[in-house]
Chain A
Amino acid sequence: DVVMTQTPVSLSVSLGGQVSISCRSSQSLVHNNGNTYLSWYLQKPGQSPQLLIYKVSNRFSGISDRFSGSGSGTDFTLKISRVEPDDLGVYYCGQGTQYPLTFGSGTKLEIK
């Protein structure tokens, strides 16, 4: 199974600040078709997860450009700029390259 390792486990940021979350996979996430299926999700308190980013760097419909994804192979990063109160919650990375589909253990974002 592909193990997804997220760091840090939690972080605290001031409003208007910028944060980066790292996600590393135990195997390359490059699919046989050449695509890299790394996605990012945000679970706000008391809510279902929502998709933010797919295929490493593509923002999902309605997602602010304050969210950006980057990386390749086994190392990926989610950056959030100009942090707003509504950004708090737990962020998960997930791989869709091979079964079983797996997620990172999550990064909790708190607002100072």
Chain B
Amino acid sequence: EVQLVESGGGLVQPGRSLKLSCAASGFTFSNYYMAWVRQAPTKGLEWVASITNSGGSTYYRDSVKGRFTISRDNAKSTLYLQMDSLRSEDTATYYCTRSGGYNPHWFAYWGQGTLVTVSS
């Protein structure tokens, strides 16, 4: 059974940093693209960043480029999201997702999410 378990969320002040982790199990982690998708309170879904199966390439939405870094440790089957210079508009539940097939084009599995609140 595919499982994605996020951790690391919490309350953080604007301008500070936070690092999210996603522990994956139930599949061969190194075979799949992974991504972070977020959802602000009462809002819709917003893709944040993706990473290739090897970790060799990464992709970001413009609003987080230069502030967020997606990475992975295939030996530990873990996905990360380093979030720096956090803003109030980054407040959201962050979902770890696994791609469908060996490509990045849809989100086949989702974690339970971890809430990040940016506020002073």
Given A41-B45, A99-B59, A105-B44, verify A94-B112 contact (CB < 8 Å): no
One of B24-32, B79-87, B102-110 at the interface:
B102-110
Asked if B10 is at the interface of the complex by the 8 Å CB criterion, the answer is: no
Q: Is the interface of B mostly helix, strand, loop or mixed?
A: strand
Tally of A interface residues using CB under 8 Å: 25
Is residue A51 contacting chain B, with contact meaning CB distance below 8 A? Answer: yes
A49 adjacent to chain B (CB < 8 Å): yes
A60 proximity list for chain B (CB < 8 A): 100, 108
**Measuring CB to CB, which residues of chain B are less than 8 angstroms from any residue of chain A?**
35, 37, 44-47, 50, 59, 61-62, 95, 100, 104-113
| B112 pairs with A103, CB closer than 8 A | no
State the Cβ distance, B57 to closest chain A Cβ, in Å: 11
27 chain-A/chain-B pairs, Cβ below 8 angstroms: A31-B105, A39-B106, A41-B107, A48-B110, A48-B111, A49-B37, A49-B45, A49-B110, A50-B110, A51-B106, A51-B108, A54-B100, A92-B45, A94-B45, A94-B106, A94-B107, A96-B105, A99-B50, A99-B59, A100-B47, A100-B59, A100-B61, A101-B35, A101-B50, A103-B45, A104-B44, A106-B44
